[in-house]
Amino acid sequence: MKEIKRIGVFTSGGDAPGMNAAIRAVVRAGMYRNLEVYGIHRGYEGMINGEIKHLDSRKVSGIIQYGGTILKSARSAEFRTFEGRQKAYENLKKHEIDAVVAIGGDGTFGGAKQFSEEFDIPFVGNDNVPEKGILFLDEFNLATKSTAKGAYEPFVGIPGTIDNDLFGTDYTIGYDTCLNTVMEAIDKIRDTASAHDRLFFIEVMGRDAGFIALNAGIACGAEAVFIPEVKSNVANLKNYLEEGFRRKKSSNIIIVSEGDDAGGAMDIAKQVKEDLKDYDVRVSILGHIQRGGSPTAFDRVLATRLGIASVDALLDGQRSIMVGIVNNKIAHVPFNKTIKHHNPLDMDMISTIDIMNV
């Protein structure tokens, strides 16, 4: 592998508070290691369209406190095609970019992994490394010899997603900020729920993982939590609410993860209302408020550490890995593992809700 002198950085997928702090860290760590750093705007779409600009210390000054991402994020249907990825590769070579830092989730890493395989990049921890110089055309299931001499484009990923569901890291950038945003919103909703004796169903993000819902439920004293990892039992909830009503407990907070198998907060609320007509039922879907806001101190520190670690990993010859944090130490995890597996939820924490509602 040739010496790395110039690296690119981009954000992709859903935005997460702390992405800007990670971009800042990559740029300044790169400069500290005598590298040139280029920002790729609008993720893979921008890579295809050549939206690549030089970044320096001044251009990332004063961004650490902002949510969103200064590099923007976009979905790219074209990158799903080999022709699109070929354009992306040509643009990276045009700007003489030797390696790339990808900030995002498993979709982002999946794209990076496929891109690397097609352009002769072996990735750590996988025995099925493509033959040197071979491009795999996924649309036609054919292979052809690469015409790109010395085709190498190492990728290192930084976990940036509010869901906290990526395997190989205890925390993802944005999760802590999101959890605090949810907690503040629920605290405010509980005020009005208590004032009007209402039953609130609050839906939070988490299509495949219940980290936000479960931990918000514990932090906010919710009466019940519905998460994707546990089969929903609406009948049990009705029994619990009926018992509470007999004890003159008429205000309750129920938190529902959007990926719950019962159909989300609206459907569960409808089922409950049919049988418990004495309850004044309301539904609140927090939506994209969970993605925004100034990142917490935890997310800023995490993003900074992982940004530096990503640059160090590239200079150390690592490729197609994610840098994560495990037991407060930097960890390197192959893309193929972090894509195939999900960060497991601590199922013992589910009992905490029941214990706290005695």
The residues that are catalytic are 163
Q: What pairs with residue 331 in β-bridges?
A: 324
Cα–Cα distance for residue pair 167/322, rounded to 1 Å? 10
User: What separation in angstroms does the CA of 64 have from each of 25, 149, 170?
Assistant: 9, 39, 22
Contact 156, 306 (CB under 8 A): no
| H/E segment holding residue 158 | strand 155-159
Strands 6-11 and 36-40 turn out to be parallel
Burial class (CB in 10 A: 0-12, 13-18, 19+), 158: buried
Among candidates 307, 265, 319, which has minimal Cα distance to 117?
Answer: 319
Helix 19-32 to helix 297-315 angle (10° resolution) is 40
| Backbone φ, ψ for residue 13 (5° rounding) | 80, -160
Give me 275's structure tokens: 């049988």
- Distance between CA atoms of residues 325 and 42, nearest Å: 26
